[in-house]
């Protein structure tokens, strides 16, 4: 949101105050995103919500009751997997299998320390990604596993990439969106291009856009991911932990 003179200062403070008031929504981010800013995308059954399969497997419920898991079952679809961020250890009822678990850290950025792009090496360009880039984005995400990335994930927000010729070397973009908060996601770099600082440059571009609309950037990462040190340098601080649960129902 911008004032008429093009600056964000006039509106930044009220929106920042608003984000503080809305911060508890981050305690159940997937469910709350699908109940607020991403409500139009939500696939709903009773109290359970998920993103459309073509966007990704993220799903949420208000709790881990048997009723919540019953509501999730039709959302998974035949042979489908779902991804939950749980505040407590996984407590799956009969019929569900935990395919992958792990400890996630949720980080939030109140005081951004953005990295200047600087000159990129010859033949390397950074630009916003579009629909024609989706095959290359899926290929890079499959190789590097920054989290689920599907053919419609790009609809969630702006994504930026760094190319050498026609080859996508690195990318970052936006995923979950809640009142006052936008998630930085899909941060990944091709193994051949690591160590060049591309992740910090791309994240800074994404964060700049989020802050420019008066929102606060947040992200999720495995707690033992070495990239957490980069996120701290960019101004992110750990907010809380979640249990990642990639689950599947045996039909």
For residue 135, is it within any domain? yes
Cβ pair 224, 179 in contact under 8 A: no
pLDDT confidence of residue 77: 84
Residues 118 and 207 in one domain: yes
> What's the domain count of the chain?
2
Phi-psi region of 245 (alpha: psi -120 to 50; beta: other; left: phi over 0): beta
Task: Kindly state whether residues 201 and 124 are assigned to the same domain.
Answer: yes
Do 119 and 234 fall into the same domain? Answer: yes
C-alpha count within 13 angstroms, C-beta hemisphere, residue 50: 23
Q: Is 187 left (phi over 0), alpha (psi -120 to 50) or beta?
A: beta
CB 161 within 8 A of CB 126: yes
Q: Output phi, psi for 153, to 5 deg.
A: -60, -30
Alpha-carbon distances of 177 from 15, 58, 70, 143, 156, rounded to whole Å = 15, 13, 26, 26, 8
The distance of Cα 210 from the centroid of its chain, to the nearest Å, equals 13
Q: Is residue 111 domain-shared with residue 155, that is, in the same domain?
A: yes
Nearest Cα to Cα of residue 112 among 198, 204, 178: 204
66 and 54 in a common domain: yes
Same domain flag for 70 and 124: no
Parent domain of 232: 107-239
Whether residues 144 and 189 share a domain: the answer is: yes
Assign residue 155 the CATH number of its domain.
3.40.630.30
Q: Which residues of 36-72 are buried (b: 16+ CB within 10 A; e: fewer)?
A: bbbeebbbeeebbbbbebebbbbbbbeebeeebbbbb
Q: What pLDDT, on the 0 to 100 scale, is given for residue 5? A: 35
Q: Is residue 6 part of a domain?
A: no
Q: How far apart are CA 175 and CA 187, in angstroms?
A: 11
Listed residue (188, 204, 120) closest to 149, CA to CA: 188
Residues of the chain scoring pLDDT < 50: 1-12
- The answer to the question of residue 20 being in a domain is no
Residue 212 belongs to a domain: yes
Q: What is the pTM of this model?
A: 0.91
For residue 222, tell me if it sits in a domain: yes
Q: DSSP characters for 22-80?
A: HGGGGGSHHHHHTTTTTGGG-EEETTEEE--TTT--BEE-SS--HHHHHHHHHHH-TT-
pLDDT of residue 17: 62
Distance CA 206, CA 238 (A): 19
The pLDDT, as a whole number, for residue 6 is 36
Q: What is the chain's mean pLDDT, rounded?
A: 92
**Euclidean distance between the first and the last CA atom of the chain, given in angstroms as a whole number:** 46
């Amino acid at each position: 949101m911008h004032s008429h003179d093009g600056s964000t200062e006039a509106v930044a403070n009220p929106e920042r105050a608003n984000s503080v008031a809305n911060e508890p929504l981050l305690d159940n981010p997937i469910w709350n995103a699908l109940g607020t800013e991403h409500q139009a995308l939500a696939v709903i059954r009773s109290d359970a919500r998920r993103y459309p399969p073509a966007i990704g497997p993220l799903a949420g419920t208000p709790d881990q009751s048997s009723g919540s898991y019953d509501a999730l079952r039709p959302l998974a679809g035949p042979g489908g997997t779902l991804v939950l961020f749980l505040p407590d250890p996984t407590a799956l009822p009969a019929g569900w299998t935990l395919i992958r678990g792990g400890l996630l850290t949720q980080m939030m950025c109140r005081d951004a320390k953005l990295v200047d792009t600087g000159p990129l090496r010859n033949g390397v360009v950074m630009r916003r990604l579009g629909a024609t880039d989706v095959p290359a984005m899926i290929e890079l995400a499959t190789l590097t596993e920054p989290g689920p990335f599907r053919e419609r994930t790009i609809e969630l927000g702006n994504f930026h990439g760094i190319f050498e010729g026609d080859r996508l070397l690195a990318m970052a973009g936006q995923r979950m969106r809640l009142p006052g908060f936008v998630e930085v996601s899909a941060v990944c770099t091709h193994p051949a291009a690591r160590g060049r600082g591309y992740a910090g440059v791309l994240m800074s571009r994404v964060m700049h856009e989020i802050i420019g609309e008066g929102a606060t950037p947040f992200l999720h990462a495995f707690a033992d991911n070495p990239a957490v040190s980069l996120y701290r340098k960019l101004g992110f601080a750990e907010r809380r932990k979640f249990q990642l649960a990639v689950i599947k129902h045996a039909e």
